[in-house]
A = this chain, B = another copy of it.
Amino acid sequence: MGDSMYRDDMCALFKRLWPISRSITGKGVRQSLDIIGQVIPIEKLEFPSGSSCYDWTVPNEWNIECAYVKDSKGRVLIDFHDNNLHVVSYSVPVNKTVSRDELMKHLNTRPDLPDAIPYRTSYYTEDWGFCIEHNRLSEFVDDHYEVVIDSTLQKGSLTIGEGYIRGSSEEEIFLSCYMCHPSMANNELSGPVVMAAVCDELRKRPLRRFSYRYIFCPETIGSIVYLSKYHERMRQRVRAGIAIQMLGIDHNLIFRKTRQGNTIADRAVLNVLSRRQPDATLMDWSPMGGGDQRQYTSLGINLPVVLLCRALNGSYPEYHTSKDNLDIISMDRTEEAVSIILEIIDTIEGNAVFENLMPYCEPQLGKRGLYPNTGGTLASDITRHYIHLLGWSDGKADLIDISNKSGYSVVSLRKAADTLCEHDLLGLVERDVD
């Protein structure tokens, strides 16, 4: 990724990941992780089929080579190689001739979106099926069809990609995106692409206060199996987390809070959005439609993980169809997501509590060279930073509070606070971490 511009690299990543057939297990996931692993360090964690994780069990590993439906004249009506959405994910192997009636029971279409191929799965019930454009049903006039799905569903493992960037503290900021869908762009490639750009930027920076852990996992079952193994460590270390998904379309950000609603993660996001995107949609926590945030914030887990996205399940017409392709991706919006997520992280990093060491009336800034000599003019921006910091720093308010009050970013307030510390006007309390 470029040092200051992630755009070209993100474009390239979108294009390389696009054609791969992914599901919640299998070679497609590992192949995708290998590609992302060329951008940021990733270790593959493998969880064997049959492993128990809370109320769930890791399913068998599914892989597919090809699949097609031919009519009685041998004409190929559906071909997996044309579009990997054509096959219901986790379809068991099939090789037989079926009647039109039976075929129809296994064909999924979207009558409301007749030229789109829907996306369907059957992870936990053994079945097979195809998905096609509703418009094309009229092509199926024969009485019998040859149906082939050359797939395997057997013991193997579920794969999660994980990376770690060490900071000065063991406390972690946790980033998660899911990666288990075949060729769809906003949901889901925008998640892994944005996450790769964010993490690439983070690892290039000088030593930071927090350590960072990021995972690419299959949705739902992936975060559940990860939590079942690492929940205790996460409970101890994760100070803030962001679940990242559906960030590529031209829509303002949607932010869903943690269950508590006032963790440092929530406060940092609200603070940054109030300046960067005041029209963003702010949602209280809800158990509906939050991707893996649902697992991270389930009652017994309850980690401080927020959700950032530009769409919820079904909130844009192309959702879960072949129309969710690279054409609906806005690179401006994708880049904006990276930039805002980085500022959220910088806000958590820079946040601290200070105490005014000269609290009786204002200190005389002028004699320290921190105030203009000539009076009568309006206060400059830097002077306003000083006055806000001195006025609010009661040993309890943190920089996020002061940013909310003053409108200045935590990053710029932190610089000014460090100057005031050098002049012994402020002292660092840093009550908010450790």
A390 at the interface (CB under 8 A from B): yes
* Interface status of A412 (Cβ within 8 A of chain B): no
Task: Indicate whether A375 sits within 8 Å of B55 (C-beta atoms), given known contacts A298-B362, A298-B391.
Answer: no
A115-123, A162-170, A192-200, A343-351: which lies at the B interface?
Answer: A115-123
CB contacts under 8 Å to B, within A377-434, are 377-379, 384, 387-388, 390-394, 405-406
On chain B, the residues within 8 Å of A358 by CB distance are: 54-55
Are B299's CB and A366's CB within 8 A?
no
Q: A295-B361, A360-B300, A361-B224 are in contact. Are A388 and B121 (CB under 8 A)?
A: no
A24 and chain B: residue at smallest CB distance:
B375
Interchain CA distance A124-B376 in the complex, whole Å? 13
Task: Check A375–B301 contact: CB distance below 8 A.
Answer: no
- Does A72 interact with chain B (Cβ within 8 Å)? no
Does A49 belong to the interface (CB within 8 Å)? no
Closest residue on chain B to residue A358 by CB atoms: B55
B387 to A288, Cβ gap below 8 A?
Answer: yes
Question: What is the distance, in angstroms, from A90's C-beta to the closest C-beta of chain B?
Answer: 9
In the assembled complex, A2 has its CB within 8 A of some CB on chain B: no
With the chains together, A125 CA to B288 CA distance in Å? 64
A114 close to chain B: CB less than 8 A: no
Q: Which of B223, B299, B378 contacts A359 (CB 8 A)?
A: B299
Q: Which of B121, B122, B295, B362 contacts A295 (CB 8 A)?
A: B362
CB distance from A249 to the nearest CB of B (A): 18
Chain B residues with CB under 8 Å of A362's CB are 55, 220, 224, 294-295, 298
Contact, CB under 8 Å: B376 / A119: yes
Are B391 and A299 within 8 A (Cβ)? yes
Q: Is the CB of A227 within 8 A of B391?
A: no
Contact check: which of B121, B363, B388, B392 meets A376 at CB < 8 Å? B121
**Complex-state Cα separation, A376 to B301, whole angstroms:** 25
Distance between Cα atoms of A430 and B362 in the complex (Å): 36
**CB-CB contacts below 8 Å: A209-240 with B:** 220, 223-224, 227-228, 231
8 Å CB contact of A388 from B287, B364, B374 = B287
Q: Which of A359, A377, A384 has the most CB of B within 10 A?
A: A377
* Nearest 6 Cβ contacts at the A-B interface: A287-B391, A300-B359, A299-B359, A121-B375, A125-B373, A300-B360
